Structure 1
């Protein structure tokens, strides 16, 4: 949390008001990795691509990599998976829903699950099997 506050202080020092959104650019991409608006952090959708941009060949490996990517993104922002309050899942085949859930549940505490919705899509970036976007609650620390 302290790392996020420090990062926000640096990014916000450009005379932006406390109510102004903070953008975390994704260099070379037409979107931000995340945007903070007040106490809410919106994480852009992520797929199960590895650091070199390649997708694992099987569904389970893609989902594990997708969740590792989200875990790494939250950690880079000074957060954890516990800070996620809402996730939206997009699957290219709802027949994989059960398998997705088994892997998903290993990343969250059973009594601390984010709200979630899911739907089937006809195609995802790079031909991915799944994509997930998340919202985190990050309250401002008292001064």
Structure 2
């Protein structure tokens, strides 16, 4: 069983656009990562986002490449929301969650160690962390960063 956790792509600064959509660079990086995942055969059965513009746009790019084109707003994914509460809502059937820091980092740490402050992984905008389960434990299966596009 796998789940995918994504920090939204690079967004415009709040003073440029208060809604903070993806920047051109952020869009390019997310499109590249999504295309790479598609090329390697990764698919997502459901793609959820926080509802913030930058997360929604990131989720749509991934859904167009490795999903069914649909995205779903999910409560509990804002930067300061409780990861313990959110962890009870997770679906491990190849669902992708697109959110924000520090929520994504704390969530992955909580799932893999039971301690949200363990600092297991340092997310990068547009990066994807795959969490897998053997039925008893969660562990990091892989982490794909946008730097793959610059190789």
Q: TM-score, normalised by structure 1?
A: 0.34
Q: TM-score, normalised by structure 2?
A: 0.33
Question: Higher strand share goes to which structure?
Answer: 1
